[in-house]
Amino acid sequence: MDFSNIVRAQNQVRVQKGMASHLTNNHVIIADILSRLPVKTLSRFNCVCKLWYWMINSDPGFQALHHSRSWRNPRFLFRLSDFDFNPLEQLGYRYAYNFVSTDTEGKNICLMQIKVHEPVKLILPGCFGLLVFSTDTRIHVCNPSTRRILALPDYKSKIAGFGVGYLSSIRRHKIVRLIPRRPSSLHLECSVFTLAPGEEGFSWRVLNDQCPYLVDQFSLPAFANETIYWKIDRQQALNRHNDFIVSFNIRYEKFMTITHPADWIPTSNLDWRSPIRNSTQLVELRGTLCMIQTLASSHVAVWKLADHKNSMWVKICMFETSRIHPNFVGEVQCIKDGEIIFNSASNYLLYYDVRKKTFRKKMLPHSAENLTSYCESLTSLTR
pLDDT of residue 342: 92
Strand partners, 279: 294
- Cα dihedral angle (275, 276, 278, 284), rounded to 10 degrees? 110
pLDDT of residue 85: 80
- Residue-wise pLDDT for 189-226, tens only, equals 999 999 986 666 688 999 999 999 999 887 899 999 99
Class (C level, CATH) for 75-374: mainly beta
Q: Tell me, what DSSP letter sits at residue 50?
A: H
- Return phi, psi of residue 65, to 5°: -65, -40
d(CA 125, CA 115) in angstroms, rounded, equals 19
C-alpha distances in Å from residue 362, one per residue of 131, 146, 249, 351:
25, 27, 37, 8
Is residue 20 pLDDT above 50, yes or no? no
- Residue-wise pLDDT for 153-186, tens only, equals 987 778 999 999 999 888 899 999 999 877 667 7
Q: Where are the domains of the chain?
A: 3-70, 75-374
Is residue 112 pLDDT above 60, yes or no? yes
Is residue 266 pLDDT above 90, yes or no? no
- Residue-wise pLDDT for 329-350, tens only, equals 888 998 888 899 999 888 899 9
Q: Tell me, what DSSP letter sits at residue 37?
A: S
Q: What is the pTM of this model?
A: 0.86
pLDDT of residue 291: 93
Q: Which residue has the higher pLDDT, 374 or 28?
A: 374
Contact 378, 63 (CB under 8 A): yes
